[in-house]
Structure 1
Amino acid sequence: MKSPPATTQQDSTYQRLRQWVTVGRFLPGERLKIHDIAQQLGAGVMPVRAALQRLAAEGALVNVPHSGMLVPRLSVAEFDDVLQMRLLLEGEAAERGAHRIDAAGLAELAVLEQRMGEALATGDTTAYLDANELFHLRLYQAAASPTLMALIETVWLKVGPLSNRLFEAAGAARVLNHAHSDAMSALQQRDSAGVRRAIECDLFVAGQFLRPFCAA
C-alpha cells in the first residue's frame, strides 16, 4: 500500500493562508504584501506567491495589475447572496451533524462555546473568531459529507474578511453567543431541527451586523 504524499511547503502555506482568509485575518480592501506574509508564516516567497494565486483563482482574492493581491469588498447584493447560500448549506450541515455527533464531539463544542463567551467578555476578537470557526467546523464535519463541507468552506472564503468588523457593530458582542448556547441546548436534547434553527439564527443575526459594512 502506498503511503500518502508528503505535504509540501506550498500546500501547507496555501492551507494556512486559506484559513487566515476564512477567519478574517485580512480586511476587505487590504493589499497583501508577499514578503510580509512570508515573514509572518516563516515561509519562502515562492510558496506564498503560489498560495495567493490559488486563492485568487478561487475568488477569495483579486489580482489587480500594478497593485498586487487585494482582499475584495463585497457589495450588499453579493453579501446577501452569500448569506442565503450559507443559510442553506450550513443549516443542512448543522442538522445532519446533530444526528451523527458523538459524546466527544459534544464535549468539544461545549468547550468552544464557553471559549467564545470568554472572548466576547474580554473583547478578544481573534479568539472569538477562531473558536467560532472551529465550533461550526466541528459540527458540520460531524455530518460526514465532504461535498457539503467543501461547498461551505468555499463560501466562507467570500465572507471571512468581513467578519473582522463584527465587533465594530454596536451591541453585537452582547448577543453573538446566544445562538451557540441555543445550539448546545438542542444538541444535548438531540433536537436536530432545533440545532438547524439555532445555526441559521446565528448566521442571520451576524449578517445583519455585517451588512452595513459592505461596499456601497
Structure 2
Amino acid sequence: MLDLENLEKAQRLSLTMQVEVSLKNALIVGALKPGARLITKEIADKLGTSITPVREALLRLVSAGALHATPAQAFMVPEMTLERYTEINAIRKQLEAMAVGAACQQMSPGKWQELHDLAEKFHDAMDKGEAQRALNANRAFRFRLYEYAQMPTLSALIEQLWVRIGPCFNYLHASVHDIAKYPYRYDDLLAALERGDAQAAQKSIDKLIDASTALLLQQYFS
C-alpha cells in the first residue's frame, strides 16, 4: 500500500534540499551580502515554491552556521569580522590543500581537460570584467576539482566554509570594481595538475587563497 504521508514528506525534503542548494550557491558567489535580511515569502515567490520548504532550508542553514535567525523570525546573512575570516581561511588552506593533493592523484587527461575548460570560462569572465559570471565560473572550477579528490566529506566541509565567506565578495558585483585588473588565474595550478605534481598544486591553491584574501583586505575589510 502506498504510504502517502511518507511520500509527501520525501517530496518536501527533496524540495527543501533544492532550495538549500540554491541558497548555498547564492551565498558562495556573493549574491547575498553580509547583513542582508532574507524574507521567506520573497524567496518562495522567486523560486516558485511554497513557504514551508524555504523556511526549512533557511533553518538548516542556520544550524550550519551560514545564517542567523533573529527574534522577529527573520533570517540574516552574518556580518564577517576580520578575525572570523582569518580563522576560516586558515582552515580552508588545510582542507583545500588536502583536496587538491588527493585530486592530483586521481587526475586523468579527461578530467584535466574538463578543469582546463572550466578555468578558461573563469578567465574569460575575468578578462571581460563580468563579476557575476566570474564568481559562478570560479565556483564551478573549484568544486569540480575538489570533487575529483573523491572525498565527499572533505568537499562538504569546504563548501560549508565557502558558504560563510562567499557573501564578502558581494562588493565585486558593483560596477565600480574592475575585476579585469585582478591577476587571479589558474594557469600554474593547471600546469601542476597536468604533470601530477601534488606539492606544486597545493602551493598554487595556497597562493590563490592568499590572493583572494588580499582583495578582501583592500575592499571588504578596509
TM-score, length of structure 2 as denominator length? 0.86
Which consecutive residues of structure 2, in runs of 5 or more, have no partner in the other structure? 1-9
Q: Aligned to 2:207, which of 201, 205, 213?
A: 201
Counterpart residue number, 2:17:
11
Distance of aligned partners of 1:212 and 1:79 in 2 relative to their CA distance in 1, 3 Å threshold: farther
Deviation of 1:67 (Å): 6.5
Deviation of 1:119 (Å): 0.7
Mapped pair 1:210 → 2:189: no
| Structure 1 residue identity aligned to 2:181 | R
Tell me, in whole angstroms, the C-alpha distance in 2 between the residues paired with 1:88 and 1:176: 23
TM-score, length of structure 1 as denominator length? 0.89
| Structure 1 residue identity aligned to 2:182 | V
Where in structure 1 do 4 or more consecutive aligned residues deviate above 6 Å?
A: 167-171
Deviation of 1:206 (Å): 0.4
Tell me, in whole angstroms, the C-alpha distance in 1 between the residues paired with 2:86 and 2:56: 31
Tell me, in whole angstroms, the C-alpha distance in 2 between the residues paired with 1:135 and 1:31: 29
| 1:33-60 Cα distance to aligned partner (Å, 9 max, x none) | 1122112212211111111111011110
Deviation of 1:163 (Å): 2.1
- Identity rate, percent: 28
1:8 counterpart SS class: helix
Counterpart residue number, 2:166:
160
Mapped pair 1:59 → 2:70: no
Distance of aligned partners of 1:207 and 1:167 in 2 relative to their CA distance in 1, 3 Å threshold: farther
Counterpart residue number, 1:22:
28
Which consecutive residues of structure 1, in runs of 5 or more, have no partner in the other structure? none
Counterpart residue number, 2:111:
105
Q: Check conservation: 2:129, 2:179, Cα contact below 8 A.
A: no
Counterpart residue number, 2:95:
89
| Structure 2 residue identity aligned to 1:35 | K
Q: Aligned to 1:118, which of 105, 116, 124?
A: 124
Distance of aligned partners of 1:46 and 1:167 in 2 relative to their CA distance in 1, 3 Å threshold: closer
Counterpart residue number, 2:137:
131
Deviation of 1:210 (Å): 1.0
Tell me, in whole angstroms, the C-alpha distance in 2 between the residues paired with 1:166 and 1:92: 28
Q: Check conservation: 1:91, 1:199, Cα contact below 8 A.
A: yes
Tell me, in whole angstroms, the C-alpha distance in 2 between the residues paired with 1:13 and 1:109: 27
| Structure 2 residue identity aligned to 1:106 | W
| Structure 2 residue identity aligned to 1:87 | K
1:177 counterpart SS class: coil
Deviation of 1:109 (Å): 0.9
Q: Aligned to 1:182, which of 156, 163, 188?
A: 188
Paired residues, what number? 211
